[in-house]
Amino acid sequence: MIKNLFRPRHLLDPWRDNFVIALILRNISGGQIGDALAQVDAHCTDSGEEPEEAFGDPVVYATRVAEQVRPVDLALSMSPLRAGMLALAVLFAVPTLLSGVSGLARGGPAELSIGSLVGAGVGTWIASMVGLQVPNSRLKGFEHDLEDGKILLMLDVPAGRYDELRTIIARTHPEAADRGSEPTVPAFP
């Protein structure tokens, strides 16, 4: 491999670009990505090796780094146990509230029956099964390309980083077609 001695290591390097993209896709913070790149640079400077020689495929190495680095938002993310507990709490709270309101409206005590709990559970399960059968409307414009075996990459990134990531992807994968972005819409308007 021919080394370019006139450019800084961190510029125009497809290995580093792919490594950074892979870390971003694994929810690693910018500071942690900078630390990982500094370690790569320090090793390559000390050993004289290129990143491909020292660390192999950038995506595989990014996976190993991501397993060792704790993402910043991991503590705030919802574990399956926590999500299940929240769902169970909602499952019991909604029927209790509804039966309590109806009981109080009649001038009597708030009541909770097994039937209301089972009905809430079955209704939630059926609604989720129906929701799974509805096709994703965002994929309709890509159906023909997907049937042709092309790969679809959809990124959910902060609006301020869109141009940066688009530039990196265009430089490392010129065959990729940018189909634009959607406006930022809050999850709960």
Query: How do residues 164-174 score in pLDDT, each as one tens digit?
Result: 888 888 888 88
Region for residue 152 given its phi and psi (left: phi exceeds 0; alpha: psi -120 to 50; beta: otherwise): beta
Whole-number pLDDT of residue 1 = 44
- Residue 99 near residue 58, CB atoms below 8 Å: no
Whole-number pLDDT of residue 75 = 44
Predicted confidence (pLDDT) at residue 178 exceeds the cutoff of 60: yes
Q: Which residue has the higher pLDDT, 171 or 184?
A: 171
Predicted confidence (pLDDT) at residue 7 exceeds the cutoff of 50: no
Predicted confidence (pLDDT) at residue 46 exceeds the cutoff of 80: yes
pTM given for the model: 0.39
Across 82-91, average pLDDT: 70
CA distance 169 to 187: 27
Across 95-107, average pLDDT: 71
Predicted confidence (pLDDT) at residue 2 exceeds the cutoff of 50: no
Given pLDDT bands bounded at 50, 70 and 90, which one contains residue 81? low
Whole-number pLDDT of residue 142 = 82
The length of the chain is 189
Whole-number pLDDT of residue 96 = 67
Q: Which residue has the higher pLDDT, 92 or 72?
A: 92
Distances (CA, A) of 34 to 10, 21, 30, 112: 11, 12, 6, 55
What angle in degrees, to the nearest 10, is found between the helix axes of 30-47 and 14-25?
150
